[in-house]
């Protein structure tokens, strides 16, 4: 696995390989952030995250946005430059998970017998890769 220390170019190429999208195409119009239902809970909102990736400046272990994105795919459908920020986020999330970054321990979750399994399944998929 590529590890967490990537040059800007390596990161861009990895994203191209995993998503088929080109982050350099982003023109910073901000539409992705405008439509994102959870942008206000992120540290780097989708457009800022794409910009950070363009410049190579993401610190994966600290980045909260990758755990906040719910993969609603709104930004993916709306981006006029086909950058698909939601897929960029997903790639970063996978990279983080494969390198041992953990969003939160299961033991901290408020789970009991009334918690629907659909919730456990979706949460687990996004936090275990």
Binding site for another protein (CB under 8 A): 17-20, 37-38, 40-41, 68, 70-74, 76-77, 86-87, 90-91, 94, 98, 103-104, 108-111, 115-123, 125-126, 129
- CB closer to another protein, 29 vs 72: 72
Query: What is the nearest approach in angstroms of another protein to the Cβ of residue 35?
Result: 9
Residue of 95, 59, 90, 55 lying closest to 76 (CA atoms): 90
The verdict on 96 binding ligand SF4 (CB under 6 A) reads no
Of 78, 66, 86, 73, the residue nearest 21 (C-alpha): 86
Q: Which two tokens stand for residue 55?
A: 């410049």
Rounded to an integer, what is the distance from CA 49 to the centroid of its chain? 9
Nearest 5°: phi and psi at 56?
80, 10
Return residues touching ligand SF4 (CB under 6 A): 26-32, 35-38, 46-47, 50, 69-75, 79-81, 83, 85-86, 89
């Amino acid at each position: 696995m590529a590890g967490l220390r990537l040059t800007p170019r390596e990161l861009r190429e990895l994203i191209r390989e995993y998503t088929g999208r080109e982050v350099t195409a982003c023109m910073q119009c901000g539409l992705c952030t405008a439509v994102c239902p959870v942008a206000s809970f992120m540290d780097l909102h989708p457009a800022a995250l794409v910009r950070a990736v363009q410049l190579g400046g993401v610190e994966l272990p600290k980045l909260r946005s990758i755990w906040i994105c719910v993969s609603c795919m709104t930004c993916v459908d709306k981006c006029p430059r086909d950058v698909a920020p939601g897929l960029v986020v997903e790639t970063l999330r996978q990279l983080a998970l494969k390198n041992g970054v953990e969003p939160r321990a299961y033991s901290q979750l408020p789970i009991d017998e009334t918690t629907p399994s659909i919730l456990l399944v979706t949460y687990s998929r996004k936090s275990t890769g």
